[in-house]
């Protein structure tokens, strides 16, 4: 095979050489910059990937593409590109109300007399501050302070917690931890599958389904409910920064259709649309996606999650020593990290679909790549492209000028970019980071 033949095959496969100019020397396994994305070969799906109880219903609603998340099919598009694609779904979210199949958020139950003690040991925040029928966004770190998962943690009872997990095998970690610690708890995935109801009309729809008491649920509050015989837990949470809720269907294998169709029927009066999870909106709110923006080698101090690391939590927790040491170094002006996360605005054609690779970032004067984009999208409100990205630690200040190398589907040009504050716009439901920032604090309970 000639060199030109090899080059042609590499181009067809999108197999560009791994980038080495971005300084990731503090990572054991560098992010594969240039080696994500589609492949020209057929992907074999085996029994390792499962269908959620809502999967056939998502297909019935028009789902035309999916990814794999937590080893479950995850809908990523309902409106076809020729009909407006994801930006039509975006319009439904910000103006009406939407339903998402998010059963990929596996529910890992920790239950027993030592549930609170065990949970307190594996999360950075204080578990006793999460009262029954409430929840919190939390992080779990390894012993080096890297983020293993960033779930919503629900507490439906005094002796019971549900980790609504992001895309990593948290169940195995929790069970492994307890082999050594011996807390009196059971740890297992349970047959509970959530739906998200998001958008400005979500409260009205949920009140039609569950009564006026929905309006009294505080942010991260829980309420029990029933839909046509199906028991559910309702939370006021979501992945958007908009007003929204999640419906956790119990015994979902049996009752998924009951819950799904009840929401669809009630939603007719509110212009409900079934859509894919709105990454364009969560980026604007500064909400992170595990495996995309952060992973087990990213510290909370690198990705705007310092507020998750309290200074005064009693007792030990996994990662505490490493995190406190890192914070001391940062405050002394000696960061242990090469890169840190920022938000940027950037030029070029509007980004109206998921990025399937990490786009490279250069300094204002060009040269070798120095960072990478993790989550880009176009913001109709701001009328510009926005993104979360990792840049050199000393280039995180708002106003720093950068350049972004766009992929071929967006013209392939190198465009101007600038570091801006995150979130990119105020949220209807401010997340914990926004609350902490408004209070002038680096932590909020």
Mean pLDDT within 377-400: 97
Please identify, in words, the CATH class of the domain defined by 192-270. alpha beta
Mean pLDDT within 394-422: 96
- Other Cβ atoms less than 10 A from the Cβ of 409: the count is 11
Residue 166 has pLDDT above 70, yes or no: yes
User: What are the residue ranges spanned by the domains of the chain?
Assistant: 192-270, 294-439
- Interior/surface letters 269-306, b for 16+ CB within 10 angstroms, e for the rest: ebebbbbbbbbbbbbbbbbbbbebbbbbbbbbbbbbbb
3-state secondary structure 78-100: CCCHHHCCHHHHHHHHHHCEEEE
Q: What is the pLDDT of residue 225?
A: 97
192 pLDDT tier (thresholds 50, 70, 90) = very high
Residue 6 has pLDDT above 50, yes or no: no
For 74-83, 228-237, 342-351, 421-430, which range has the lowest pLDDT when averaged over its residues?
421-430
Topology given in CATH for the domain delimited by 294-439: Gyrase A; domain 2 (3.30.1360)
Mean pLDDT within 117-141: 98
Residue with more model confidence, 16 or 193: 193
3-state class of 408 per DSSP? helix
Q: What is the pLDDT of residue 235?
A: 97
Q: Evaluate whether 192-270 and 294-439 have a shared fold.
A: yes
Residue 142 has pLDDT above 80, yes or no: yes
Share of the chain above pLDDT 70, in %: 92
3-state secondary structure 141-180: ECCCCCEEECCEEEEEECCEEEEECCCCCHHHHHHHHHHH
CA 422 to CA 286: how far, in whole Å? 6
């Amino acid at each position: 095979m000639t060199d030109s033949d090899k080059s042609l095959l590499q181009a067809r496969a999108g197999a560009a050489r791994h980038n080495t100019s971005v300084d990731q020397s503090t990572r054991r396994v560098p992010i594969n910059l240039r080696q994500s994305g589609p492949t020209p070969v057929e992907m074999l799906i085996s029994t390792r990937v499962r269908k959620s109880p809502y999967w056939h219903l998502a297909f019935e609603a028009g789902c035309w593409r999916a990814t794999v998340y937590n080893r479950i099919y995850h809908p990523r598009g309902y409106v076809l590109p020729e009909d407006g694609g994801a930006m039509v779904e975006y319009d439904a979210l910000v103006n009406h109300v939407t339903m998402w199949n998010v059963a990929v958020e596996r529910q890992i139950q920790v239950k027993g007399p030592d549930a609170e003690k065990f949970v307190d040991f594996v999360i950075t925040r204080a578990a006793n501050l999460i009262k029954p029928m409430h929840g919190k966004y939390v992080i779990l770190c390894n012993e080096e302070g890297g983020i293993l998962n960033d779930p919503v943690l629900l507490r439906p009872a005094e002796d019971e917690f549900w980790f609504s997990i992001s895309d990593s095998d948290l169940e195995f970690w929790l069970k492994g931890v307890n082999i050594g610690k011996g807390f009196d708890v059971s740890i297992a995935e349970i047959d509970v599958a959530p739906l998200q109801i998001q958008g400005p009309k979500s409260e009205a729809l949920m009140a039609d389904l569950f009564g006026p008491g929905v309006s009294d649920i505080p942010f991260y509050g829980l309420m029990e409910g029933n839909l046509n015989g199906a028991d559910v837990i309702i939370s006021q949470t979501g992945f958007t920064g908009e007003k929204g809720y999640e419906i956790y269907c119990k015994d979902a294998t049996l009752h998924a259709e009951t819950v799904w169709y009840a929401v669809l029927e009630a939603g007719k009066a509110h212009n409900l649309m079934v859509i894919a999870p709105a990454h364009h909106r969560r980026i604007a709110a500064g909400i992170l996606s595990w495996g995309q923006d952060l992973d087990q080698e990213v510290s909370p101090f690198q990705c705007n999650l310092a507020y998750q690391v309290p200074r005064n939590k009693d007792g030990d927790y996994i990662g505490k020593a490493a995190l406190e040491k890192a914070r001391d170094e940062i405050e002394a002006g000696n960061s242990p990290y090469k890169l840190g996360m920022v938000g940027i605005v950037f030029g070029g054609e509007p980004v109206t679909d998921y990025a399937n690779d990490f786009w490279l970032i250069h300094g204002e004067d060009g040269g070798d790549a120095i960072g990478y984009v993790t989550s880009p999208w176009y913001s109709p409100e701001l009328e510009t492209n926005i993104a979360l990205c990792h840049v050199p630690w000393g280039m995180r200040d708002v106003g720093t000028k950068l350049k972004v190398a766009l992929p071929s589907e967006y013209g392939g040009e190198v465009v101007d970019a600038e570091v801006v504050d995150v979130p990119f716009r105020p949220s209807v439901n401010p997340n914990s980071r926004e609350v902490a920032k408004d209070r002038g604090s680096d932590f909020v309970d």
